[in-house]
Structures are given as C-alpha cells and as structure tokens.
Amino acid sequence: MIPEDARTEAGRLRELIRHHNRLYYAENRTEITDGEYDALMRRLVELEKLWPGLKADDSPTLRVGSEPLSQFPAIVWDPPMLSLDNVFSEEQFREWDRRIAREVQTESPPVYSVEPKLDGLAVALVYREGILERAGTRGDGREGEDVTPNVRTLRTVPLKLRGKPPGSLVVRGEVIFRRDDFQDLNRKREKEGLEPFVNPRNAASGSLRQLDSRITAGRPLSFIAYGTAEWPDGIDSMRSLFRYLDRLGIPVNPWNEACTGAEEVCGAYRRLAEERDRLPWDIDGVVVKLDRADMQGRMGVVSRFPRWATAWKFRAEEAVTKLLDIELQVGRTGRLTPVARLEPVFVGGVTVSSATLHNEDELRRKDARPGDTVIVRRAGDVIPEVVRSLGNPEGERSVPFRFPASCPVCGGPVAREENEAAHRCMNPSCPARLRESLFHWGSRDALDIEGLGGKLSEQLVETGLVRDVSDLYSLSEEQLSLLERMGEKSAGSLIVQLERSRKAGLQRFLTGLGIPGIGRTVAGFLAESFQGIREMMEADEETLTGVEGVGPVLAESLHRFFHDPVTRGVVERLLEAGFDPAGSVPGEGAGALEGLTIVFTGSISLPRSAARTIAEKCGARVTGSVSSNTDIVVAGPGSGSKLEQARRLGIRVIDEEEFLELAKGTEGSRPSP
C-alpha cells in the first residue's frame, strides 16, 4: 500500500511542476531557478520509482520520453483537419472579404479573428475527462500519425487540463520552435559535433516525428493552440474560444486580435508584418477567420478548405545581388561551412553582405558559383541564405566550388562522414576547434578528466597555455593555480586527474581524439580489434574495413587521420607525453580459434553477443565485415551478401554446429579454406 504522505507529496510536486511550466511557457516568467525546477522533477521521479502505483496518466515525468516505436500508428480525424486557402496581396484579401460580406449578409462589416500564421507542424490533442489521451499530426487531413508519446514530452502541452474541462475536447494547434530555443538547440548540436538544423519549421516537424520519444524530449518544442475540432458548449466566437482554452491551461497566441471589417484587418496585417522580426517565433503571414461560430457554419467548407478562413501570406523577403566569392568558416566542432560573400544588398530590414550556403549538398543543389547573380533571403527572418542562382548574365560561369582536402585554418585533413552533409577538420588541435576538443577530451566517455570543463578549456586556450591537446600534460600546478577560480587545491586535483588519464585504454583514447564518426561504440570495436595504438596506426584501409561498425568511408578517414602529418603529429605528441593505449582484444593463451578473424552472418540460435564472447575466449577476433583478412564465416539461415562475399574470396564457411565444435576442440592448426 502506498503511504499517504508519499501520495500527498507526489500530488503537491505535480501541481508545483505544472504551475512553473505554465509560468515559463505561457507567461514568459519564472519564480524558481532551473536547478530548483530540476530538483522538483528528480524528487517526483524518485517517488514514482519507489511507489509505481503513484504514476498517473498526467504525471510530468512522462515528459522524459519512452522506448522507441517501430512505426507510428494511424489516427483518424472526424471532422477532418483542413488546410487553409491563401491570398498573397491586399487586393486578393479584399476580394475574399467581399465574398464573405455577400454570403453572410450582415448589415455591418463582419468581425474577423486575425491570428499570426505560425510556421510549424499542425497537431491535434485529444482530451478525455481533462486528461491527454492521444495526439496526432494532420497527415492528409483525414488520417494522421499518432505521436502521443512524443507530444507528452512537450512542456507546453498540459497533460491534465485546469478548471472544469468537458468530457471530450479535441484541441488543434501548431508545434513550433521558439527562435531562442531553436538557436540554443543548434548551439548545443554544434558543440556535440552534430549538423545544425537549417530552419525551425523542418526541425520541428522532424523532432516531433521521431520514433524514439526520448529524442523529442531533448528538443525544446512548443505548442500553440489555434482552435478546436468542434465548438465547446457555450462558446460562440473565436475570442471566447481563446479565453476558454487559456483558462484550461492550453497556450494560445497572445498576438491574436479581433478586427471589424477589411480596413482593420489590413491594419493588423501591416502591424504584424512590421513586428514579425521581434516576435518570439517565426510567422509567414496572418490567418483571418470569421469570428462568430454561426457565421462560420453558414459559410461551410469545400473539399479541402474552410470557406470562412484564409491565410494572407507575407511577401517573401528576398533580394537579388552578385555572389563575389565562396569562403569557408571552421566552427568549434571543426565543421566547415561555405559562406557566400555578396555585393551588399538590403533585405528583410538589414544590409546583407554574406549568407550561408549550409553544406556541400545544399551548395550543389543551388549550383551557386562566384560571379553568379543570386537570390538572397533571410531564412526564418534571421539568418541570410542564398536561395538559388540565376547564373552569370555577364558571360561564362566559374567552376563549381569544391571542398578542400585540408583545413583552411590548420592544414589538417578534412573528412565528410558517411550519411552526413557536413565536412569537418579532423585535427583536434586545430585553433578553430581547440576549446571544444579539450572539453571533449576530458568528457566522461573519453578520458574522464574531472575538472576539465568548458570554462577551464576556454581559459587554457585564451591564455595560450594550451595550443595542442598534448600541452595539457606539460601544465604545472603553478600555471593552473593562476587561472580564474582555480587555486592550489583545484590545480593539484587536476594534475592528479591528468596523470591518471595517461593510463587510459585504446577505446577512451580514440574517443577523446574526436575523429569524425568515431564515437564510444565504434572506438570500442576498434579497441577489440587491435592490440594497441601503433598497430592501428599502421593498419591499411582493408584491415580497418574489417572492423565492426567501420565502413569504407570511415576506414578511409581513419587511414588519413593516422597518416596525415598534422593529425599523426598530435597522436605522436600524446604518446611522447606518456600515453601507451592498449586494446582490449580478449583471449589469452592458444586456443582452437587463436589468431583467427571470424564473421557471423544470418540467423544462429545463440545470441550474437554470446557467440562473440565464445569466439573471443578462444583467441579469435570477431568483425562485422568480410574482407580478405577474414578466416572463417559462420553462416546461418538467411545469410546474404556476407556469405556471397566469403565465397567469392574463397573464405572457409561453416555452420553454427561446426563453430561450436571448433570452439571446444583441442588446439589445432589454422583451418584451410
């Protein structure tokens, strides 16, 4: 039985968390610090783990996400979630207004609800007895995707409505990124070495449609309501509907306003067009709706659009100018971003002389070249970007821009990861990325150096004490103690941590180097495949490709990293500083499979991890790919390309039973094909 004091505390915590969520997301103010908020959430999680019966369908702890789905179930909308018809000029809007006036036949001009048109993903929330039951995307209007686990992670979506909600309510709205949240998310992604998102709308759509809701939980999405599927009892206008939703705790847009007649609507449109750069989220126009429920009913709908509403789009903020040159910027994670240098042009309220071209794929798609005339706009009304090229009207076009093989800052090798659009400098000591490299080197997954955080890394670079990762190991307590917030005790502790890190194994060492594509998992596979760093540095691409998790592109990058003078020099200096990272190749002593390289393919009765353990205990090395260095392929039913590759190369193929016999057999010589 759950103790009454635990039940009472959990209820109090839920109400406190809901209260602070509403203050932060609906009223843009706070009463407690982030740390205090996190403490409330941690305590609630702790109580619900201790007493599972406390967990309710409206608990804020559901916002952390759940296990991944294999696919999204369908969700059916009745009535359908319709799109909006568009107008693009004042003349078109006034014609729409005249049609409304003719059909509703009122003596005075109709009252309209004018709302900012948010640029996000349309979503509906289904509440039963005030509790969020389901949520889904619009889809084709009649059938969408059920994204309930993801929507539960949004702090702006109430899991339980306030006051006295109806038995059933379907709320429709938009999932968006606030501008500040979007910029913070991109800064975080760049620090983690990930590709930043290009624009908030696509990022919001992709973030909400993750099969793993834990990913959605890590992205600061917001929900803004714009209506309901059906009019609630006693509600007869958009104005009263917004007040009603706000009382229930559902966020609505504070810039919504009621306008009488076309003149007031035009004034509201102009005000929002002027204010759009200062709004907290992107808008691409205004939505104009008949305010009264009875008038909406008289106008009705057509197959795809309501006849009582229209979207009046803003004129695109674009300009034409000349692309003078394309340069590369190297970010803190080593990411190379192509930047267009432009003849200055006024667009979106500012003079623009440079614009992002994002990455190689975008550059090729737009086919922008120095000397071209290009169209420029402010993406999301903030970041200037080149939309497309109009070619070179003055004559022959220049050759397409190509990414260099070497970093323009440090001369280190540049690589593009498989299935990624970004090119990155691979040199962890590149001046453009040194601060982040130091922070990554000391992170928990890498060398786990307590005290080597972002602030200290920044100070070490700014003071010139560290110009290379290996310089960490020549620092003295005296040098460190002179830094801000260090002192003798902290300096001494860091020296101890640095000394301990010299004993790191190959997995941590490789992770710390920050080679694009080499995270902790792949570093672990490499550490299992090589006795030490020297063996790995001398391995050819074919050998590297034989390692699980390493494909041809990554093998080429690794080979370049260890053979390029700049990046090899970084490793050599670390070895001179006292590192000698050894691999974790298991299997001591001679065995029936000693020294052999084995690949498993197809279905076998043993769990793959168990088969791997057996092989390694017998002295074998297990890899994920077949190459000329493979000695045995253990093939089960359903084997595909790996089995075909083995046969082409003349590699011995055995079944699971024969593998187990070899594993428990006596010492033997190397099997022949």
Residue 406 DSSP class: B
Task: Look up residue 57 and give its two tokens.
Answer: 């369908």
- The answer to whether residue 13 scores a pLDDT higher than 80 is yes
Q: What local confidence, expressed as pLDDT, does residue 167 receive?
A: 93
The alpha carbon of residue 403 and the mean position of all alpha carbons in its chain are separated, in whole angstroms, by 24
The CATH classification number of 318-389 equals 2.40.50.140
Residue 440 DSSP class: H
Pairing of strands 597-601, 621-623: parallel
- Distances in Å between the Cα of 30 and the Cα atoms of 36, 39, 63 are 11, 15, 19
Q: Which segment, 49-63, 338-352, 529-543, 642-656, is predicted with the most confidence on average? A: 529-543
Q: 317: closest CA among 405, 384, 410, 241?
A: 384
- The answer to whether residue 673 scores a pLDDT higher than 70 is no
Q: What local confidence, expressed as pLDDT, does residue 666 receive?
A: 35
CB 530 within 8 A of CB 597: no
- The answer to whether residue 589 scores a pLDDT higher than 50 is no
Write down the domain spans for the chain: 4-55, 86-313, 318-389, 405-585, 597-664
Residue 321 DSSP class: E
Q: In whole angstroms, what is the distance from residue 88 CA to residue 434 CA?
A: 49
Which of residues 198 and 5 earns the better pLDDT score?
A: 5
Which residues lie below 8 Å from residue 488, measured CB to CB, with a gap of 6+? 477, 481
Overall average pLDDT of the 400-415 stretch:
93
Q: What local confidence, expressed as pLDDT, does residue 644 receive?
A: 85
- The answer to whether residue 238 scores a pLDDT higher than 60 is yes
Which residues lie below 8 Å from residue 359, measured CB to CB, with a gap of 6+? 195, 337, 338, 421, 422, 423
**In sequence order, what E strands does 503-631 have?**
597-601, 621-623
Which residues lie below 8 Å from residue 140, measured CB to CB, with a gap of 6+? none
Q: In whole angstroms, what is the distance from residue 243 CA to residue 501 CA?
A: 60
Superfamily of domain 86-313: DNA ligase/mRNA capping enzyme (3.30.470.30)
Q: How many CA atoms lie within 13 A of 281 on its CB side?
A: 24
Report residue 590's pLDDT band, with 50, 70 and 90 as the boundaries: very low
The residue written with tokens 């619900």 in the block is: 48
Q: In whole angstroms, what is the distance from residue 554 CA to residue 418 CA?
A: 7
Residue 339 DSSP class: E
Report residue 253's pLDDT band, with 50, 70 and 90 as the boundaries: very high
> Helix (H, G, I), strand (E, B), or coil: what is residue 206?
helix
Least confident of 119-133, 293-307, 605-619: 605-619
Least confident of 27-31, 84-88, 585-589: 585-589
CB 364 within 8 A of CB 400: yes
pTM over 0.85: no
Q: In whole angstroms, what is the distance from residue 580 CA to residue 231 CA?
A: 71
Instruction: Name the fold adopted by 4-55.
Output: Helix Hairpins (1.10.287)
Q: Does domain 405-585 have CATH number 1.10.150.20?
A: yes
Q: In whole angstroms, what is the distance from residue 273 CA to residue 311 CA?
A: 14
> Helix (H, G, I), strand (E, B), or coil: what is residue 381?
coil
Task: Look up residue 564 and give its two tokens.
Answer: 């390029």
**Which of these is catalytic: 49, 55, 117, 503?**
117
> Helix (H, G, I), strand (E, B), or coil: what is residue 528?
helix
Q: In whole angstroms, what is the distance from residue 469 CA to residue 440 CA?
A: 11
CA pseudo-torsion sign 559, 561, 564, 565: negative
The residue written with tokens 């596979």 in the block is: 525
Q: What is the DSSP string of 40-98?
A: HHHHHHHHHHH-GGG--TT-GGGGG--SPPSSPPEEE-SS------EE-SHHHHHHHHH
Q: What is the mean pLDDT of the chain?
A: 86
Least confident of 179-193, 204-218, 471-485, 576-590: 576-590
CA pseudo-torsion sign 305, 311, 317, 318: positive
User: What are phi and psi for residue 591, nearest 5 degrees?
Assistant: -145, 175
- Distances in Å between the Cα of 600 and the Cα atoms of 416, 646, 653, 665 are 29, 11, 10, 19
Burial class (CB in 10 A: 0-12, 13-18, 19+), 610: exposed
Look up 55 and say whether it is catalytic.
no
Other C-beta atoms within 10 Å of 268: how many? 22
Q: What is the DSSP string of 238-252?
A: HHHHHHHHHHTT--B
The residue written with tokens 């240098």 in the block is: 341
Report residue 585's pLDDT band, with 50, 70 and 90 as the boundaries: low
Render pLDDT for 452-502 as a digit per residue (tens, 0 to 9).
988 899 899 989 999 999 999 999 999 999 898 788 888 999 999 999 899
Overall average pLDDT of the 345-362 stretch:
83
What length does the chain have? 673
> For residue 525, which amino acid is it?
F
Task: Look up residue 312 and give its two tokens.
Answer: 């009046």
The residue written with tokens 């305590």 in the block is: 43
- The answer to whether residue 515 scores a pLDDT higher than 50 is yes
CB 328 within 8 A of CB 404: yes
Instruction: Name the fold adopted by 597-664.
Output: Rossmann fold (3.40.50)
